Chains A and B, each alone.
Chain A
């Protein structure tokens, strides 16, 4: 399945309109010393789409997400964002371009409350200078209130009102994952990257998280790229799937296409899940 940069996208089975290419990875190769984490992989992410990356442990999925978010710098390949070639960027610069992410191993501010954590997602929407903020001038107060409003909306949306003031360190794993998603959403990202958002969750938590992901995409129109281990979940959620194995791309297409791809069946489905 190949697309050119110019085409206008497609309409999904459930009638959602997917736009043109937002992010394009071209011939990405990433090495750690002798280890090749990613070998010559190309794929794209379209406007409004939920794009999944799947593959067995160690396939290089997280590495790919880290390349997109600027945490890893590939030795070869190019990244295009909104049709423009992206120069090498630091993670914070990528974040400022409207790309938010969560981490496989959860990276929250453990010493802060849930509310403060989510509030950090708004840092790039705070513009008033130190003096204005310090003396709490009208402009600073207005800005703070606007940011608070967005944050409260997201907290309601993800149903974490009851733990707003709880220090994050005290939360169970499943809720931490949700708070991390809230913080990423607070940045009102154009592209949201989720690294195994459902790992380690029980069935009920997984269902909640799936619903949130679909709702985010639906209500905010956020483009989402997610990594997931659980094939079933991926098939339900995503519009298109990239399959990786040992750092190589072995499949790319709709869930149905991927499910019936022999290489994928051999390489991925043969591997036991954990």
Chain B
């Protein structure tokens, strides 16, 4: 087999793995959009905030330590304990649920029946608030996150492919784990929305508020639940990305990578988010591999957006999105 083809296969595999991570972030958007019609600009910041909180809890960091020290002239940084990863993940989830409740209580329940653009702007405000709040609570330095996920070269794949092609593929264990987790997460979400009472109620709210109320569904409960779910997805994405590249501000920018994924997959489709993520992941890696040397590299910065734009022209509702037909 020609080398070029073998490299391309490796690149494709790596692209698939990266795509899974994009899909994870995109999923958070889709969930909220489906259930409440809100495009949640803050989804990326939520991932950052979740990762910051997780690290902070694990390391026994004192929240708001800068503020406390500035006011009281103290010098506190850490408690004397640290929390094991699983416990810290559960605690972080509790924080995300509280956040969901607060966001609904303080902001969105007052904006029922408002124009989508107003809701969107509210999420922009929320994003910047949470960014600053996260900073104040946990500090702005880059943090290492290690919840015990395996990382580095996967030997099995390396050796198998070496045996087959005389060239070992480099696949990161973390990416493999991310893929498995993403598949699990999506399965659980699909089962949840199709077969449980709360899932049915969620779909009802997404479809028609008045009708949902008339069959006894509490909009507030469902919204808090959906924001909690989005917080959960953000936590998973935050763990994956944070483990990969450290917990830092740029984490919130992965949200921007989710945008082309959504344009491709459609804002209302869970399978769309996944397939869209995979297409973007593979597309951008392959394009860089094939065309990068010709056009001078760094195509990964823009390829996804151009692909999404081209797509938008031909299929504005996305791959799986519902066709939009104006009723006249």
Chain A interface (Cβ < 8 Å from any Cβ of B): 69, 71, 90-93, 95-96, 100-101, 103, 107-112, 116, 119-121, 123-124, 126-128, 130, 133-134, 136, 183-184, 187
How far, in Å, is B186 (CB) from chain A's closest CB? 14
At the interface, yes or no: B69 with Cβ under 8 Å from chain A? no
Contact of A109 among B188, B196, B211, B219 (CB under 8 A): B211
Q: Which of B13-21, B82-90, B130-138, B199-207 contacts A (4 or more CB under 8 A)?
A: B199-207
Contact of A130 among B192, B210, B214, B218 (CB under 8 A): B192
A110 to B200, CA, bound (A): 14
Q: Please give me the residue from chain A that is nearest to B188 by CB atom.
A: A134
A130 to B213, CA, bound (A): 21
A71: B residues at CB distance < 8 A:
210, 213
B219: A residues at CB distance < 8 A:
92
Contact A69 B214 (CB under 8 A): yes
Q: Nearest 9 CB-CB pairs, A to B? A: A95-B216, A126-B197, A107-B211, A91-B213, A109-B207, A133-B196, A107-B210, A96-B216, A124-B216
Contact string, B166-182, partner A, CB cutoff 8 A, digits 1/0? 00000000000000000
A115 to B212, CA, bound (A): 15
How far, in Å, is B212 (CB) from chain A's closest CB? 8
A187: B residues at CB distance < 8 A:
215-216
A90 to B217, CA, bound (A): 10
A108: B residues at CB distance < 8 A:
208, 211
Contact A103 B210 (CB under 8 A): yes
A184 to B210, CA, bound (A): 13
Contact B207 A95 (CB under 8 A): no
B203: A residues at CB distance < 8 A:
109, 111-112
The residues in B between 201 and 258 inclusive whose CB is less than 8 angstroms from any CB of A are: 201, 203-204, 206-208, 210-219
Contact A130 B215 (CB under 8 A): no
A93 to B217, CA, bound (A): 8
Contact A133 B197 (CB under 8 A): yes
How far, in Å, is A149 (CB) from chain B's closest CB? 17
Contact A92 B197 (CB under 8 A): no
Q: Please give me the residue from chain B that is nearest to A180 by CB atom.
A: B211
Q: Please give me the residue from chain A that is nearest to B195 by CB atom.
A: A133
At the interface, yes or no: B322 with Cβ under 8 Å from chain A? yes
Contact B208 A107 (CB under 8 A): yes
B211: A residues at CB distance < 8 A:
103, 107-109, 120, 183
Contact A111 B322 (CB under 8 A): yes
Contact A109 B195 (CB under 8 A): no
Contact B214 A123 (CB under 8 A): no
Contact B216 A119 (CB under 8 A): no
How far, in Å, is A123 (CB) from chain B's closest CB? 6
Q: A111-B207, A134-B195 are in contact. Are A123 and B201 (CB under 8 A)?
A: yes
How far, in Å, is B13 (CB) from chain A's closest CB? 32
At the interface, yes or no: B191 with Cβ under 8 Å from chain A? yes
At the interface, yes or no: B151 with Cβ under 8 Å from chain A? no
Q: A112-B207, A120-B204 are in contact. Are A95 and B195 (CB under 8 A)?
A: no
What are 23 pairs between A and B in contact, CB < 8 Å? A69-B214, A100-B214, A103-B210, A103-B214, A107-B210, A107-B214, A109-B207, A109-B208, A109-B211, A110-B208, A111-B203, A112-B203, A112-B207, A120-B200, A121-B215, A123-B197, A123-B204, A124-B216, A130-B192, A130-B198, A133-B195, A184-B214, A187-B215
Q: Please give me the residue from chain A that is nearest to B325 by CB atom.
A: A169
A110: B residues at CB distance < 8 A:
207-208
Q: Please give me the residue from chain A that is nearest to B213 by CB atom.
A: A91
A134 to B197, CA, bound (A): 10
Q: Please give me the residue from chain A that is nearest to B191 by CB atom.
A: A134
A116: B residues at CB distance < 8 A:
200
A128 to B196, CA, bound (A): 9
B210: A residues at CB distance < 8 A:
71, 103, 107
Q: Please give me the residue from chain A that is nearest to B198 by CB atom.
A: A130
How far, in Å, is A11 (CB) from chain B's closest CB? 33
A69 to B195, CA, bound (A): 28
A146 to B206, CA, bound (A): 26
Contact B214 A90 (CB under 8 A): no
A183: B residues at CB distance < 8 A:
211, 215
The residues in B between 59 and 82 inclusive whose CB is less than 8 angstroms from any CB of A are: none
Contact of B213 among A92, A112, A119, A121 (CB under 8 A): A92
Q: Please give me the residue from chain B that is nearest to A111 by CB atom.
A: B207
Q: Please give me the residue from chain B that is nearest to A108 by CB atom.
A: B211
Contact A101 B207 (CB under 8 A): no
Among B192, B208, B216, B217: residue with most chain A CB under 10 A: B216
How far, in Å, is B111 (CB) from chain A's closest CB? 17
Q: Please give me the residue from chain B that is nearest to A91 by CB atom.
A: B213
A126 to B200, CA, bound (A): 11
A124: B residues at CB distance < 8 A:
215-216
Contact A136 B195 (CB under 8 A): yes
